[in-house]
Structures are given as structure tokens and as C-alpha cells.
Structure 1
Amino acid sequence: MQFLRWLLLPLSLLYGFVVIIRNWLYDAGIFKSREFDLPVISVGNLEVGGAGKSPMTEYLIALFKRDYKLATLSRGYGRQTKGFITAPANAVATQVGDEPAQFKSKYPDVTVAVCEDRAAGIDNLKAQHNLIILDDAFQHRAVKPGFSILLFDYKSLQQPQFMLPAGNLREPFSGRWRADMMVVTKCPPNIGEAEFTRCYNRLSPMNWQPLFFSSIKYQPLRPLNGNDVDISIDADTTVFLLTGIANPAPLTTYLQTQTPKIVHHNYPDHHQFTLKNISKLAADFAACTSPNKLIITTEKDAQRLREQSLQNAVAQLPFFVQPIGIEFLNNGQQNFDKIITDYVRQYPNNN
């Protein structure tokens, strides 16, 4: 695998050159970036895959939803629709994408919208909202957000950084200096001072770029369908784990602290589950002789399991969803909240 990456390095250099030219054209004003007269917060990352954008977006929703008429706006990756769509209450992944469907499921009173053209999406939302949160929009230069939060996965930050296709970077690492704030996500809860310093030196933020650290906060399991029930996992429990996300490693590591018996059905990011996938899982589950067994999936994957074509097969299995949130380290939450809230309040309509 490492040898293949070296073979792809010339393509990475070409891709990086194109991205650098594109960013320069935006920075020079040759390509236009639109600004808006309402607060627009962008959540993004430099790498392909999961750096915790969805938990951060949900954190911001929870922070502002009571005081502002906010909307989230995503591209809607993986959906089978086109153009601007406002997610209905029963939105499914094929309609709006898995992350927007997740947002709408958890926050039904919040407007969740998708549009490939983020500027056009904001145009459709701005009359009825006074705060827009852009999910995964750091590379969408056609919109200039008022405040940009850039996320870095702790583990990925320790590894060499290469552009696509040899590596996972969507743009050069120097693009981080375009952000208003950086957050290192998925840190070990017991990270030491030496690691904080190493991350700081690796990112070298400008003096106006605050840097925060956060870890994953796992919440109680809940059934995919039906009412909440108390469920516990111990060393005798066999967990069948179904994932179609970019980086399932933190979840598997967490579950391994509770039981060594994990059977992982792992699929690519945004994988559209099929009846064949669920049938294979059901067969493996039925063949397991353990008296204590259950199936766990992620919140994002749960949205793709709610497709009508899968409902009968999924309903026959004891699916549980593992919700997650974020927890700021170094007592950083208060300062983080203040910086973001001060930005939103500087707009006359929100003061």
C-alpha cells in the first residue's frame, strides 16, 4: 500500500499545483467569493474523511438553536437528488445525504438544507434565518464565511501529509492558515502536555488563530427503532459492528474497552447498504452462539438503514445506535463558546 502511494506521488504534485492555482485565483479576487450580511460559520477539514465535522456541527446547533433562527447547509453527499432541498421531518439519506438526515432527525425544529451551490443555498435561506452553519465547506471558496472552523483528526495529524491521490489532503497543509480557528479532534482524554505542545508546533497557528483540543464523548446506546431501553455491554457480550464511515477506528477502540468480542462489518464511507449486506449481517448474527449479542452502528450509518427497501430486514435485528458528541479539553469549552458567540452577536440583527 505504501509503495502504491509513492507511485501516485506525481499525480499528487499535479493535483496540488491545480489546487494552489485555484486558491490563488480566489485570494487575488479573480475568482469571486461571496460574502453575506448575516453570520455564516463554516466547519471543515483539509483531509478526505472524518475529522469530526458532524459532531462539531451538532455542537454549534445545540449552542445556538434556542436563540437564533439557524439553518445548516450541506452539499448532501451521496443523495440521489439535485439542487436546493429543505429536509422534511422524515428525511432519508438518499434524499438529502446521511449527515443532513442525521441533523434533521436529532434537531427536528432546525432548518436543514442541502445544495451543491452553497451561495445559492444561502440565498434561499437568508430571508428566514439569521445564522447559517455550513457543513464541510472549507474548500467551497465561492462563499467567504464570516467565521471558519478547521478540524484536524489527532491521529492523522501525527502522520505524513500528502495530497490526493497519494495521501488524503484535499488541499495543501498551508491552507490551514485561511481558518479563523483550529480544533484538534478525537484526542485521547488523557493527552499530556507534551502532546499538546507537539500538536501546536505541528499546526503553527497564527497569533490570531485560537487552537482548541477535543475528544469524543460517547453517549448511551439507543435502539435504532422503538423506545429507549437500558443496555449494557460486558466482556461476555458479542458486538456486531456495522459501519460505513471514513474512520471507524475510534469507535472500535472504544468498544474494545468493554468487550473483546467484536465482529466488524466494515464498508466504505457513505456506503449505501443493500439487502445483501443486511442479509450477510443477519446470517453472521444468527450463527453466533453467544447468549449476549447485539448489533451496533453509528448515527450516520443509521440514516442509511432507514431506507424503505431495508426496513423489513433491519426490523428483524437488534440494532443499537452509538451517539457521540465532543468534549473540549484544557477547560476550553467556555472560551470556545465565547469566541463563536461574540462573532454571531456582532451582526446588528443578532445583538
Structure 2
Amino acid sequence: MAKIFLYPLSWLYGFVIFLRNRAYDLKIVKSKEFDVPVISIGNITVGGTGKTPHVEYLVNLLKDTYEVATLSRGYKRKTKGFRWVEKQSTALEVGDEPLQIKNKFPDVTVSVCEDRVKGVEKLLEPAEGKTPDVVLLDDAFQHRRITPGINILLIDYNRQIKNDTLLPAGRLREGVYQMRRANIILFTKCPEEVTPIMRRILQNDVNLLPYQKLYFTRLVYGTLQPIFNAPELDEASYRTVSCHMLVVTGIASPKQMHSFIKKMGTQMETLTFSDHHAYTTNDIVEIEKRFQAINSEKKIIVTTEKDAMRFKDIEEISDALKAAMYYLPVKVDFLEEEKKSFNKKILNYVGENKSNRELHKRKNSGKS
């Protein structure tokens, strides 16, 4: 019922967003193009659609052939301006997601800047380390000040947008009409199989245009990894009803992770915080209290890889708690034979534009 009172605000918000997008469409407000290949990954809704695992997929796809750089705004960091992300950085300095990417791919350039144009310009300065062959813009679908060569839009398979409304009454950041800006639409967090009928329904729901490609991805969880000094675990040791897990999450949508852990056959309790939650001393006290209350000889704390980045910043975690803390890594995979098609599209774009860029540089060098 309270939602009814939010609709006028949604209409006002929608009108402002319409004017902003119209200004870009009519080129009243300019959008900058760079001569380096730029790929944007984002969504049209608030809440988790799995952006970071998809950015990591692209990094892994490209890193062996090209110099890859990622640029994020560094959501909820306590710093401003452009920053290079290092393995020894903290989540408070650079944000949890960029730090996660850097820890997973230490040889890849990872950076944060709230101004995406300035961020890319900084990445392209020759004096500042490696010059990238391709820049991946994280969470940038709404950031129209840059025109990407490929715009990838993520939609949660389990929270489809056809009947949704704009903020604050709904979850939409902008109207569904703006999906037209995407070159690739990915339905994420899919079950292991999506029937042909369901695929057609979803294709119709997003009103797929001739220049757009539609793909389906799912989350694939790995084996538990220690955050601090906990002992290594083999799967047999925790995939048993005798193991009791306290699952602590500060992400937008922990439901799929909870479902995966339930299938392990373990006992599970959950403690859920808001997305990108900044854990406090009181939170640690609550976690320790809940953990100590579990009456089991075999018990551990499980969290997400993103949460693990934030827990590393907290000095108040006791050694006993550290010895019980693990994170559950996750990656994405494509359904059926779609991976080959998606990979080819990305690799062709980067390869062709890198070649054109080098040819352009040689021509200009010859003229000078």
C-alpha cells in the first residue's frame, strides 16, 4: 500500500532520466569516444545481477592476449578521485569489488574513479604504467559520458523487469526502452537449463532488436577458501550434515548462495546484511555470538568473496574467529554452446579495434 505514495516520485524521477537520456541522444550533452576498445558492463536495475563475476570472466578471456584495465567507481569507498588498486589496498580505500578483481588477477591493471572520462584518460597516460589495449567499465550502463564500443546489459533471470517500475517505487534505474543501448543482453543467475520456450518468452520480453545478441549465464560456485589463517578444507569435510555453517552475507541477493549451500547437505544458519555493508565492531560481536551459540563440533563461518575483502580490513576479529572464516568463490559460465559465440564477439571487437588503433598511430607518426 505504501508503494502507491512512491509512484509520483517515480514519475518525477523518470521524467528527469528521460530528459537526461534525450540530451545525450540529441547530442546536446556530448559523450566521449576513445580510440582504445571500451566495453561497458552494467544493469538497468538496482540490486545484484552478478556484475563482478562477469567482469572477471571478461578479464580472464582477454588477459593472456591483451593488456586489460578495469575501471570502477569504487562504490562505498572512503576516498575520492582516481586511484590505482593494489593487492595491499583496502576495501575502504578502493571498494570491495575492485579489490576482489585485483586479488584474483594481480597482473591486471585495476583502477577506480567516480569520473569515468577522467579515469580512462588517466589509464591512457603513457607515463602511468602499462597502456591498456582494452578498458572494461564496471557498472557503467547509466554513465553515458563515455560511448563504449560494446555495451553489455545484465538482467537477473529470477527478477525480470517486464512488470517492474522506476525508482523509488520499483527497482528500475531507467525505463526499459533504454535497453536499446545494449549490444549484448545477458540473463544472469539462470538455472542449468532454460527451455526453448522460455528463451523465446524472454527474447520477446526484452524486445530484442536485430543488432542485439542475447545470452544466458549461470553462477558456478567453487570450493571454500580461507579468508585468514583457517585450515584448508576438502569438500568431503564440509559436504556433510555434521558440519554446521553460519552464512554471513552483505550482498544484494544472497538467495542463490543459500540455495547452493543447502544442497550440500550441511546445517545452515544465516546472518544477512545490506549490500556492500561496512562491518562494524558490533557486527563482529554479533557474528561471534551467533557462531559460539552453534552447538556442533564441526562448524565454520562462510561468506562471499566480496564480503571477504571487507572483513580483511577489520582488526577486531579475534584469532579464534579468523580460524573459522571461509569465503565461497563464484564464477559465471554460459549455457549450452553460447560461450563460443560470446567469446568470439568480444575477441573480434577488441582485436579489430586494437589493429585499427595501431594503424592510425602509424599513419599519424608518418605524417609527423
Q: Same fold (TM over 0.5)?
A: yes
The aligned residue for residue 149 of structure 1 is: 152
Q: Does 1:189 align with 2:195?
A: no
The partner residue of 2:59 within 58, 61, 75 is 61
The aligned residue for residue 352 of structure 2 is: 346
How many residues are treated as equivalent by the alignment?
A: 349
State, as a whole percentage, how many aligned pairs show the same letter.
Answer: 39
DSSP 3-state at the match of 2:107: coil
- TM-superposition CA deviations, 1:238-291 (whole Å, max 9, x none): 210111111111111111112363211100111101121111111111111122
The aligned residue for residue 10 of structure 1 is: 8
- 1:207-218 correspondence runs (5 A): 207-218=210-221
The aligned residue for residue 328 of structure 1 is: 334
> TM (normalized to structure 2)?
0.91
- 1:15-164 correspondence runs (5 A): 15-126=13-124, 127=126, 128-157=131-160, 160-164=163-167
Deviates more, 1:287-296 or 1:137-146: 287-296
- TM-superposition CA deviations, 1:174-217 (whole Å, max 9, x none): 11110111000000113322221221111121011010001111
Deviates more, 1:254-263 or 1:50-59: 254-263
The aligned residue for residue 285 of structure 1 is: 291
The aligned residue for residue 233 of structure 2 is: 229
**How much does 1:220 deviate?**
1.1
Contact residue 130 and residue 350 of structure 1 kept, 8 A: no
Deviates more, 1:15-24 or 1:286-295: 286-295
Distance between the aligned counterparts of 1:20 and 1:326, measured in 2? 33
Letter in 2 for 1:324: V
> TM (normalized to structure 1)?
0.95
The aligned residue for residue 304 of structure 1 is: 310
Structure 1 gap ranges (5+)? none
Contact residue 278 and residue 310 of structure 2 kept, 8 A: yes
The partner residue of 1:220 within 223, 234, 246 is 223
Distance between the aligned counterparts of 1:37 and 1:228, measured in 2? 46
Contact residue 91 and residue 104 of structure 1 kept, 8 A: no
**How much does 1:6 deviate?**
2.3
The partner residue of 2:273 within 259, 267, 270 is 267
- TM-superposition CA deviations, 1:23-66 (whole Å, max 9, x none): 00011101110000010000000001110100100000000111
Distance between the aligned counterparts of 2:296 and 2:123, measured in 1? 51
Contact residue 282 and residue 317 of structure 1 kept, 8 A: no
DSSP 3-state at the match of 2:234: coil
CA 1:33 to 1:313, structure 2 compared with 1: closer, same or farther past 3 Å? farther
CA 1:20 to 1:150, structure 2 compared with 1: closer, same or farther past 3 Å? same
DSSP 3-state at the match of 1:289: coil
**How much does 1:308 deviate?**
4.3
Distance between the aligned counterparts of 2:273 and 2:39, measured in 1? 31
- TM-superposition CA deviations, 1:76-120 (whole Å, max 9, x none): 001000000001221211010010010111111111100000000
Distance between the aligned counterparts of 1:146 and 1:158, measured in 2? 25
Contact residue 150 and residue 183 of structure 1 kept, 8 A: yes
Structure 2 gap ranges (5+)? 360-368
DSSP 3-state at the match of 2:220: strand
CA 1:179 to 1:159, structure 2 compared with 1: closer, same or farther past 3 Å? closer
Moved over 3 A (4+): 226-229, 310-317
